[in-house]
């Protein structure tokens, strides 16, 4: 009888695109169990928090969220509360000791067993914990169900990381690198294309090393070539790359593969070789810049984005200046920049020369002001050009306004009396705004 009743799921997600993708899978699994998604947590029978621990701030958000949700169990005895993702992986049983009443802690390899854990709690009222690392990760093969009309899908191709950069918690909470079999990836994307998906974003902590640990598996450029052949997929993007693993073969893919978008997220982290060395990144700024230039030679319109850590231990004013110089040289479209955040268990926590909070804060402000100027300048350069945009749908502010994206992933707003959602159109860029563009239709279809 229980299976017939619709129950309410409130799902809260922090962090990266992989967490967003994991939440889409969780939503799909619970859809099959008879749960519908609600936006008001007061109505929930099940609350799931999918967490991130890459920096301290998103980690803190988990504890304040639990402070909000756990007291609700006093009024609603049916309510089950679960915490998953990177914080759950890291804290494990300690999370249930610290937060009494927390029913479920599920790690980054346990998404597929989560519905069974919820059923177990409902049957036995006993808390459940699963933070085991699996050698193959079953949840990678869960295909999320997308709402009709969805154009873009995330496809996880690998998970985990073997790099152990000195600041980073990811290898400890996502586990060692595991590449999903290419047959399963191709089958999923074929299915997505049949269901109307036009753009795929291939996800992994380091997609460049896809397949390298598995005998007989395709490597990343070979996988891209296979995806490029799938009928109906017009745009292929991927994230994240490690500069040291960016191969000549991948650079050549930007010439050879017509559906591969001219966009590259290539985290630099610091513009100082001394700091890169201490981070354990395995490349110099010269090697990085050489790869950027070679990509620009084969694909002049390519747009770069990056992650940057400001105030890593030992970062002097001179090191910081080198980071600033580097963003001027590369001219990124977007940089996701954060103050260095000490993470328990990583090597950099015990580096003696931690940078003062106020210094980090000031450097971040200077950095972001400059990057904003570079972003605006790049957008202004597009004024007067024509761009092929894939139309995503109506703009948030409604009316006759619509929104699409360029191959380089810039947002373009335009007006039209007709609905061209899902179509590729040519627009002339008329104006650059702070983070987006305005355009006029030149041609559609
Ligand atoms: N402090 C600040 N930023 C970090 N990142 C990873 N670990 C830390 C940390 N301890 C950033 C890196 C990475 C992105 C996902 O998060 O820039 O590329
Ligand atoms: Fe973290 Fe470095 Fe792995 Fe990226 S490559 S996930 S920064 S350890």
Q: Does the residue 94 lie in any domain?
A: yes
Nearest ligand to the C-alpha atom of residue 339: 1
**Do residue 293 and residue 156 come from a single domain?**
yes
Q: How far is the CA of 367 from the centre of ligand 2 (A)?
A: 22
What is the model's pLDDT at position 445? 59
Backbone dihedral region of 269: left (phi > 0), alpha (psi from -120 to 50 degrees) or beta?
left
Task: Based on the fold, state whether residues 336 and 252 are members of the same structural domain.
Answer: yes
Domain limit, last residue, from 130, 147, 164? 130
Q: Looking at the CA of 360, name the nearest ligand.
A: 1
Query: Do 164 and 189 belong to one domain?
Result: yes
Domain interval for residue 350? 138-380
- Expressed in angstroms and rounded, the spacing between residue 234 Cα and the centre of ligand 2 is 29
Residue 443 has what pLDDT?
A: 74
Among residues 331, 359, 380, the one where a domain terminates is 380
Instruction: Say yes or no: CB of residue 95 within 6 Å of ligand 2.
Output: no
**Rounded to two decimals, what is the model's pTM?**
0.95
295 with 437, same domain: the answer is no
Q: Tokens for 345?
A: 């268990």
Same domain, 292 and 213: yes
User: Which protein residue has the closest C-alpha to ligand 1 atom 12?
Assistant: 307
pLDDT tens, residue order, the chain (445 aa): 454 579 999 999 999 999 999 999 999 999 999 999 999 999 999 999 999 999 999 889 999 999 999 999 999 999 999 999 999 999 999 999 999 999 999 999 999 999 999 999 999 999 999 999 999 999 999 999 999 889 999 999 999 999 999 999 999 999 999 999 999 999 999 999 999 999 999 999 999 999 999 999 999 999 999 999 999 999 999 999 999 999 999 999 999 999 999 999 999 999 999 999 999 999 999 999 999 999 999 999 999 999 999 999 999 999 999 999 999 999 999 999 999 999 999 999 999 999 999 999 999 999 999 999 999 999 999 999 999 999 999 998 878 999 999 999 999 999 999 999 999 999 999 999 988 999 999 976 5
- Examine the fold and report which residue of 326, 347, 380 is the final residue of a domain before the chain moves on: 380
Residue 219 lies in a domain: yes
**How far apart are the CA of 54 and the centre of ligand 2, in A?**
10
Do 192 and 337 sit in the same domain of this protein? yes
128 C-alpha to ligand 1 centroid (Å): 30
Q: Do both 82 and 144 map to the same domain?
A: no
Residue 310 and residue 353 in one domain? yes
Residue nearest to atom 14 of ligand 1 (CA): 307
CA of 242 to the centre of ligand 2 (A): 8
CATH code for the domain in which residue 424 is found: 2.40.50.140
* Residue 13 within a domain: yes
Shared-domain flag, residues 225 and 167: yes
Ligand (nearest to CA of 269) = 1
Burial 236-275 (b: 16+ CB within 10 A, else e): bbbbbbbbbbbeeebbebbeebebbbbbbbbbbbbbbbeb
400 and 340 belong to one structural domain: no
Do 183 and 292 belong together in one domain?
yes
The alpha carbon of 168 and the centre of ligand 2 are apart by a number of angstroms equal to 6
How far is the centre of ligand 1, averaged over its atoms, from the C-alpha of 328 (Å)?
A: 21
Residue 222 in domain? yes
Confidence at residue 17, expressed as pLDDT on a 0 to 100 scale: 93
> Ligand 1, atom 16: nearest CA belongs to which residue?
54
Q: How far is the CA of 174 from the centre of ligand 2 (A)?
A: 10
55 Cβ closer than 6 Å to some ligand 1 atom = yes
Number of domains making up the chain = 3
Does ligand 2 come within 6 angstroms of the Cβ of 161?
yes
Pair 66, 122 in one domain: yes
CA of 194 to the centre of ligand 2 (A): 34
Is the minimum distance from the CB of 165 to ligand 2 under 6 angstroms?
yes
Q: Is 269 in the pocket of ligand 1 (CB under 6 A)?
A: yes
Q: For residue 343, which atom of ligand 1 is closest to its CA?
A: 10
Probe ligand 1: pick from 14, 15, 55, 267, max atoms within 8 Å of CB?
Answer: 55
Please report whether residue 1 resides in a domain.
no
CATH number of the structural domain spanning residue 94: 3.40.50.12160
**Closest ligand 2 atom number to CA of residue 174:** 6
In a domain, 2, yes or no: no
**Any ligand 2 atom below 6 A from CB of 163:** yes
- Residue 317 and residue 329: Cα distance in Å, rounded? 19
Is residue 248 a part of any domain in this protein?
A: yes
């Amino acid at each position: 009888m229980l299976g017939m009743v619709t129950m309410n799921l409130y799902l809260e997600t922090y962090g990266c695109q992989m967490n967003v993708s994991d939440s889409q899978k969780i939503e799909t699994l619970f859809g099959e169990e008879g749960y519908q998604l609600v936006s008001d947590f007061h109505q929930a029978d099940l609350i799931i928090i999918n967490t991130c621990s890459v920096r301290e701030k998103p980690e803190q958000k988990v504890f304040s969220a639990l402070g909000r949700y756990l007291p609700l169990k006093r009024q609603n005895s049916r309510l089950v509360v679960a915490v998953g993702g990177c914080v759950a992986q890291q804290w494990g049983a300690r999370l249930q000791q610290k937060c009494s009443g927390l029913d479920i802690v599920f790690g980054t390899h346990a998404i597929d067993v989560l519905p069974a854990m919820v059923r177990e709690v409902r049957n036995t009222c006993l808390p459940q914990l699963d933070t085991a690392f699996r050698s193959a990760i079953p949840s990678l093969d869960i295909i999320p169900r997308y709402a009709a009309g969805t154009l873009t899908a995330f496809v996880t191709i690998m998970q985990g990381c073997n790099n152990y950069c000195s600041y980073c918690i990811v290898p400890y909470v996502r586990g060692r690198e595991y590449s999903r079999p290419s047959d399963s990836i191709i089958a999923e994307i074929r299915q997505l294309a049949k269901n109307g998906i036009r753009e795929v974003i291939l996800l992994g902590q380091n997609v460049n090393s896809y397949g390298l640990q598995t005998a007989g598996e395709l490597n990343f450029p070979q996988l891209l070539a296979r995806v490029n052949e799938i009928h109906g997929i017009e745009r292929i993007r991927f994230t994240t790359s490690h500069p040291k693993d960016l191969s000549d073969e991948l650079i050549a893919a930007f010439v050879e593969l017509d559906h591969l978008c001219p966009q590259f997220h290539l985290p630099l982290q610091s513009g100082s070789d001394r700091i890169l060395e201490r981070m354990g990144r395995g490349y110099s700024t010269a090697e990085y810049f050489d790869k950027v230039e070679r990509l620009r030679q084969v694909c002049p319109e390519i747009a770069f984005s990056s992650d940057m850590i400001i105030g890593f231990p030992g970062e002097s004013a001179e090191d910081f200046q080198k980071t600033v110089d580097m963003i001027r040289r590369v001219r990124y479209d977007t940089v996701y920049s954060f103050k260095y955040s000490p993470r328990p268990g990583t090597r950099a926590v015990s580096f003696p020369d931690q940078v003062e909070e106020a210094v980090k804060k000031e450097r971040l402000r200077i950095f972001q002001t400059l990057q904003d100027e570079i972003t605006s300048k790049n957008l202004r350069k597009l004024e007067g050009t024509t761009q092929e945009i894939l139309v995503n749908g109506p703009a948030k502010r409604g009316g006759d306004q619509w929104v699409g994206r360029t191959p380089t992933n810039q947002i373009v707003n335009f007006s039209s009396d007709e609905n061209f959602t899902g179509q590729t159109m040519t627009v002339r860029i008329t104006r650059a705004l702070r983070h987006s563009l305005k355009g006029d239709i030149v041609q559609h279809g």
